[in-house]
Amino acid sequence: MNLFIAELEELEIGEYLVNEPLSKHTTWKIGGTADLMILPRGKKQLISLIKLLGKHSIPWTSIGRGSNMLVSDKGIRGVVIKPTDGLDYVRFEGNTVIAGAAYSFIKLAVMASKQSLTGLEFAGGIPGTVGGAVYMNAGAHGSDVSRIFKSAEIVLSNGELVTYKSDDMKFSYRHSVLQEMSGFVVEASFELEAGDRQVITAEMAKHKGRRLLTQPLQLACAGSVFRNPPGDFSARLIEEAGLKGFQCGGAQVSELHANFIINTGQATAKDVFALITHIQGVVKERYGIELIPEVLVMGER
């Protein structure tokens, strides 16, 4: 690793942090340390970094704003890449919006509304980055990334920069091909439609009001924990099973929204794992339905 760091410094790729606590980088505020966290300054630096990691056979993981993920208490071995300012940009070309991997997905929706472009209203409450949203095919309110996705620039594990179109992404419910391969979204473009700014703004405000009333957004959480089973809602099943407020250590099923697990202050990943397993067991026994986690589980187990 010392030789790798020396080459990293020589290439001036960006800031790096040794034994960085990942609890500082996840919305659950949970997670052990990363051996090395690297914050590349831009696209060229990111490509150089991926090539250097390959040269030294060092495993790597990417992280955005740390929502929708659970990092183990033992942390992540190898390198964690976190894109920063150089990949935090947006531009509009007619009805197409192009954004860097580090750009806020919520902010993207707001910026689109200011351009009187419709199609991103669903994104107004998804607290992640553009890169993470594409990776997960993030969605809400009956829509998702796949509905508006045009293309993405992706750095493959060998450092090659490729462009994927919608058909290449193999989108499905909370899934993309990126979950089956080692690749890093650099930027993505979305095809929107011209709309009425007042109507778009009103729709986003309605969604926001509902979220504030029904989701524990002021607390440490990671968004919806389980995918919705076909024709039903995980929150309904968990609530009807009497699990609202149920707690394992510092992890608790939200009293406000049953498909959210909150960190009450000192929760560990072990607590969250235990609570997820308990919920799955109760719902399976009562309804015969296997709840599948939506959150990504990362790190050494």
Q: What is the pLDDT of residue 126?
A: 86
- pLDDT tens digit string along 156-198? 999 999 999 999 999 999 999 999 998 999 999 999 999 999 9
Q: Is 113 marked active-site?
A: no
Residue 134 burial (C-beta neighbours within 10 Å; 0-12, 13-18, 19+):
buried
Stated pTM of the model: 0.91
Tell me, what's the pLDDT at 261? Answer: 98
**Percent composition of the chain: helix, strand, coil (DSSP 3-state, to 5):** 35, 30, 35
The confidence score (pLDDT) of residue 227 equals 94
Q: List the beta strands (DSSP E) in 195-286.
A: 247-248, 251-253, 261-263
Taken in order of first residue, the domains within the chain and their CATH numbers are: 2-85 (3.30.43.10), 88-199 (3.30.465.10), 216-298 (3.90.78.10)
Amino acid 20: pLDDT: 98
Give the model confidence (pLDDT) of 253-297 as tens digits.
Answer: 999 999 999 999 999 999 999 999 999 999 999 999 999 999 999
In the residue annotation, 174 being an active-site residue is answered as yes
> Which portions of the chain are predicted below pLDDT 70?
none
- The active-site residue out of 113, 146, 151, 224 is 224
Name the average pLDDT for the chain.
95
- Active site annotation includes 294: yes
Among the listed residues 121, 174, 176, 187, the single catalytic one is 174
